[in-house]
């Protein structure tokens, strides 16, 4: 059901809700919010607000509103698939909570009107497109309105509360992702290991930190990941952990040093349903070299990054429209060259499932071929 | 009369010995040089033998503390006690300065510069009374090489050029007039440069152009900068070949930028990108051309750091990889990894670790070894061969 988001969908503070939605999509569009963790968190927080303020007469309407909000966020930043993952998770929880609440109230069987709320009584017609509001529905809904207004409203308010609680769980899950992922780091990494990572990923960072703290010492090579150069931030954060020896290397040195590396730890942007990942440019290079040297590649990720989205599977499609600022490669100081050259460094790239040994998530460890089943279990509608 | 004969026999055997050692290369001639050059610093031979024995050298005490656990520990070299300045030819000390600040980079450029400098050294040489040129000249050249080595570790191609020159010097007839010998040696050096570098380059360009079409567009992947690739691409443009270039670059040296400006000046369509972005670009690439620092006896390519990554990813995407190398870059050794023999990036090209703590190190290597299995063809002046045929070519060349 396609729905246009407007003030009619929200009770009371509809203006603030709307402006929150616009603000978040603007931030996403302008890359004020980057990284799937932050995006997921912001999305979940927004959806909580949306659900608590939504004006809906039926569960379908609520679901449609949530979906429309998710879609509008995704439209403003199609590369942040965490948006759609969180939205799907929230939709699933809403459905579950609703059915549970319904079952509970049906057991009482004191309120038969509740069953009709499942059958879409139109409490608030205003949000619907004009053509749907023909006379008969208007009549029937106004009839129902008089009949069971207070009951249904009461039920919706009650179920909204449990739904918000459920969304809160999603938020908590996202917020504790780092701790949950790093919890078992010491099972995989000992002090004799030599770790290589590229660029900066907060999940990888906390994973390595946790491994270093539990094992009491670790040697970590960080590739600087030009032209983003975010390896430097990673080094900055890792050097503060006691016992960690951090060495920054250039990207061209990864190959030479790989024989000395025992494990490669990478973060990711999105995990696809086939077990492949879409990660920052440079990840493929590292994983391919690791694969050639038979070094295990550990991909650390929160489960909110796992997407069942079937689009964007092909690397080219995903990386084709998002480029790193070319000023990092060539500056106007370089002279006339600037006018004559095409500079292209995509932000993200696709890494094949064969190149990853294991995904360590906030809820268990999965080899790439089990991702499909995980999605079926956790996220299917 | 019999004494004279004995003397000649002795000289001959001495010469043969020198020949053998010159072929063996390395540090040994420096030991040889010792008796002829009593003024040389006495600790020098000991130093050089320590280096060749253990493969690791004394580090600065500070660097040592920081790099104790580093696999690249042996590359953090203490400065080799340099030769007394009066033994260094002015042209050599000039060359040393250019090498150490990376004004002269690239195997070909370094060999050309070295050869022309050595020509001047030989030109200003006079045999002292009581010795012969074939024995004494080596003792003059050795400190020059040592000095250059203290500026920057010598390249593999320089090593083979020096070895070749030592052999030529040892081959000089002791009865030859000084002037004739000097002229002869300078001529030989000119021939070497002409045959092994200049003409070889022309031939390589010709061979490479056969891989390019004038009717079908191809997109060539190039990494960093190689003088022969630069010439080839410019010649290809002149020859009306239809192509564009995807140029990749990476730290520490970022040499690609220089190539980029030359190519764009020549009117070649260029896409400039970073090594890390290679995977996204590969679907549009027709083939890759790599420069070479040396081709090893097992067909592996020793070249600028990053070439191995380019070759690996190209192979994964079924993009053919050719490497362009003059045959004087074929060397008689095998490297098992990229760590044991390598060079660290110089101070001027260090990664940006400003604002990070004192415990943070940075390490960038200048070279890496690409296994032969990632290379489809070596284009040299003798033709296009699979890398595994290189040892056979080397044997044929030796005969």
Instruction: Write the pLDDT tens digit of every residue in B218-228.
Output: 999 999 999 99
Using a CB-CB cut-off of 8 Å, the residues of chain B touching A245 are 69, 359, 361
Instruction: Tell me the per-residue pLDDT of A354-364, one tens digit each, with 9 for 90 and over.
Output: 999 999 999 88
Asked if pLDDT for residue B289 goes beyond 80, the answer is: yes
Asked if pLDDT for residue A299 goes beyond 90, the answer is: yes
pLDDT band per the 50, 70, 90 thresholds, residue B315: very high
Name the residue among B116, B99, B131, B303 with its Cα closest to residue A252. Answer: B303
pLDDT at residue number A15: 78
> Are β-strands B218-223 and A341-343 bridged in parallel, bridged antiparallel, or unpaired?
unpaired
Which of A309-323, B116-130, B249-263, B352-366 bottoms out in mean pLDDT, i.e. has the lowest?
Answer: A309-323
Domain ranges of chain A: 7-175, 178-378
Residue A345 forms contact with B (CB below 8 Å): yes
Q: How many CB atoms lie within 10 A of CB B49?
A: 14
Residue A321 forms contact with B (CB below 8 Å): no
- Taking an 8 Å cut-off on Cβ atoms, the answer to whether A248 and B353 are in contact is yes
pLDDT at residue number B15: 59
- Taking an 8 Å cut-off on Cβ atoms, the answer to whether B360 and A239 are in contact is yes
Using a CB-CB cut-off of 8 Å, the residues of chain A touching B355 are 236
CA–chain centroid gap for A362, Å, is 13
Burial class (CB in 10 A: 0-12, 13-18, 19+), B298: middle
pTM: 0.82
B81 and B143 Cβ atoms separated by less than 8 Å: no
Interior CA angle at B348 toward B342 and B351, to 5°? 75
- Residue whose structure tokens are 């460890």: A365
Which domains are seen in chain B, by residue range?
A: 12-39+80-200 (no CATH), 210-398 (3.40.50.10470)
- Comparing A109 with B310, which gets the higher pLDDT? B310
Asked if pLDDT for residue A136 goes beyond 70, the answer is: no
Residue A249 forms contact with B (CB below 8 Å): yes
Q: How many CB atoms lie within 10 A of CB B333?
A: 12
Three-state SS at B190: helix
Residue A193 forms contact with B (CB below 8 Å): no
Using a CB-CB cut-off of 8 Å, the residues of chain B touching A340 are 264, 270
Using a CB-CB cut-off of 8 Å, the residues of chain B touching A255 are 305-306, 308-309, 312, 338, 368
CATH of domain A178-378: 3.40.50.10470
Q: Which CATH class is domain A7-175?
A: mainly alpha
Q: Which residue in A254, A337, A345 is closest to B309 by CB distance?
A: A254
Interior CA angle at B359 toward B357 and B360, to 5°? 75
pLDDT band per the 50, 70, 90 thresholds, residue B248: very high
- A366 forms bridges with which residues in the sheet? A359
Quote the CA–CA distance of B284 and A342 in Å, as a whole number: 14
Quote the CA–CA distance of B290 and B224 in Å, as a whole number: 9
DSSP string, B30-83: HHHHHHH-TTS-THHHHHHHHHHHHS--PPPHHHHHHHTT-TTGGGSPPPPPPP
- Comparing A83 with B47, which gets the higher pLDDT? A83
Query: Do the first three CATH levels of A7-175 and A178-378 match, i.e. the same topology?
Result: no
Phi-psi region of A282 (alpha: psi -120 to 50; beta: other; left: phi over 0): left
pLDDT at residue number B4: 63
pLDDT-above-90 percentage for chain B: 61
Q: For residue B365, what are its two tokens?
A: 């290597």
Closest approach of chain B CAs to the CA of A275, in angstroms? 18
Buried b (16+ CB within 10 A) or exposed e, A288-320: bbbbbeebebbbbbbbbbbbbbeebeebeebbe
Closest approach of chain B CAs to the CA of A226, in angstroms? 7
Residues 200-239 of A with CB under 8 A from B: 219, 224-227, 229, 232, 235-236, 239
pLDDT band per the 50, 70, 90 thresholds, residue A148: low
Phi and psi dihedrals of B221, rounded to 5?
Answer: -95, 130
């Amino acid at each position: 059901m396609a729905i246009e988001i407007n003030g009619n969908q929200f009770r009371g503070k509809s203006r603030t809700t709307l402006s929150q939605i616009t603000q978040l999509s603007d931030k996403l569009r302008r890359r004020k919010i980057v990284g799937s963790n932050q995006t997921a968190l912001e999305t979940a927080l927004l959806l909580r607000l949306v659900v608590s303020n939504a004006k809906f007469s039926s569960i379908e309407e609520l679901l449609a509103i949530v979906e429309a909000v998710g879609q509008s966020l995704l439209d403003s930043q199609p590369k942040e698939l965490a948006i759609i993952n969180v939205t799907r998770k929230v939709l699933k929880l809403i459905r579950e909570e609703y059915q549970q609440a319904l079952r509970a109230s049906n057991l009482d069987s004191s309120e038969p009107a509740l069953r009709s709320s499942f059958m879409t009584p139109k409490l608030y017609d205003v949000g619907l497109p004009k053509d749907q509001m023909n006379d008969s529905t208007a009549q029937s809904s106004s009839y129902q309105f008089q009949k069971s207004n207070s009951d249904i409203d009461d039920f919706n308010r009650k179920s909204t509360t449990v739904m918000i609680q459920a969304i809160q769980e999603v938020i908590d899950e996202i917020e504790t992702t780092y701790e949950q992922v790093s919890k078992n780091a010491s099972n995989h990494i000992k002090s004799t290991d030599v770790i290589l990572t590229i660029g900066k990923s907060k999940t990888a960072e906390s994973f390595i930190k946790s491994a270093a703290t539990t094992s009491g010492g670790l040697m970590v090579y960080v590739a600087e990941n030009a032209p983003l150069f975010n390896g430097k931030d990673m080094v900055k954060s890792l050097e503060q952990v006691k016992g960690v020896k951090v060495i920054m290397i250039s990207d061209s040195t990864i190959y030479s040093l790989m024989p000395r590396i025992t494990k490669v730890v990478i973060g990711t942007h999105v995990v696809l349903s086939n077990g492949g990942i879409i990660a920052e440019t440079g990840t493929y290079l590292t994983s391919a070299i690791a694969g050639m040297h038979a070094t295990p590649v550990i991909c650390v990720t929160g489960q909110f990054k796992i997407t069942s989205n079937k689009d964007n599977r092909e690397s080219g499609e995903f990386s084709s429209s998002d480029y790193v600022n070319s000023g990092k490669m060539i500056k106007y100081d370089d002279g006339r060259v600037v006018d004559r050259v095409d500079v292209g460094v995509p932000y993200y790239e696709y890494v094949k499932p064969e190149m990853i040994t294991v995904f360590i998530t906030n809820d268990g460890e999965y080899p790439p071929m089990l991702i499909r089943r995980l999605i079926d279990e956790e996220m299917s509608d | 009369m019999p004494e004279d004969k004995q003397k000649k026999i002795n000289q001959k055997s001495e010469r043969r010995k020198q020949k053998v050692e010159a072929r063996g290369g390395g540090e040994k001639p420096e030991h040889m040089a010792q008796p002829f050059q009593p003024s040389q610093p006495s600790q020098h031979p000991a130093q050089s033998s320590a280096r060749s024995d253990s493969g690791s050298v004394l580090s600065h005490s500070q660097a040592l503390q920081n790099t104790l656990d580093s696999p690249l520990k042996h590359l953090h070299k203490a400065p080799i006690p340099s030769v007394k300045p009066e033994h260094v030819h002015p042209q050599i000390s000039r060359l040393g300065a250019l090498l150490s600040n990376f004004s002269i980079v690239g195997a070909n450029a370094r060999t050309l510069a070295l050869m022309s400098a050595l020509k001047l050294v030989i030109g200003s040489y006079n045999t002292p009374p009581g010795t012969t040129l074939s024995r004494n000249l080596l003792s003059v050249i050795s400190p020059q090489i040592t000095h250059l080595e203290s500026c920057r570790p010598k390249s593999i191609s320089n090593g083979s050029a020096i070895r070749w020159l030592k052999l030529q010097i040892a081959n000089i007839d002791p009865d030859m007039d000084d002037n004739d010998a000097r002229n002869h040696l300078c001529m030989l050096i000119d021939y070497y440069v002409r045959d092994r570098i200049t003409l070889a380059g022309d031939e390589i360009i010709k061979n490479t152009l056969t891989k390019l079409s004038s009717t079908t567009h191809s997109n060539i992947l190039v990494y960093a900068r190689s003088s022969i690739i630069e010439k080839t691409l410019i010649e290809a443009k002149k020859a009306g070949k239809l192509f564009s270039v995807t140029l990749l670059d990476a730290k520490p040296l970022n040499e690609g930028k220089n190539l980029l400006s030359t190519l764009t000046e020549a009117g070649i369509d260029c896409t400039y990108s970073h090594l890390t972005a290679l995977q996204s670009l590969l679907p549009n690439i027709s083939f890759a051309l790599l420069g070479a620092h040396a081709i090893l006896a097992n067909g592996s390519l020793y070249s600028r750091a990053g070439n191995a990554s380019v070759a690996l990813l190209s192979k994964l995407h079924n993009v053919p990889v050719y490497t362009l190398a003059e045959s004087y870059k074929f060397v008689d050794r095998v490297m098992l990894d990229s760590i044991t023999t390598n060079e660290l990036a110089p101070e001027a090209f260090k990664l940006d670790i400003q604002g990070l703590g004192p415990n943070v190190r940075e390490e960038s290597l200048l070279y890496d070894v690409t296994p032969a299995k990632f290379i489809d063809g070596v284009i040299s002046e003798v033709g296009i061969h699979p890398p595994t045929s290189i040892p056979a070519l080397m044997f044929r060349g030796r005969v």
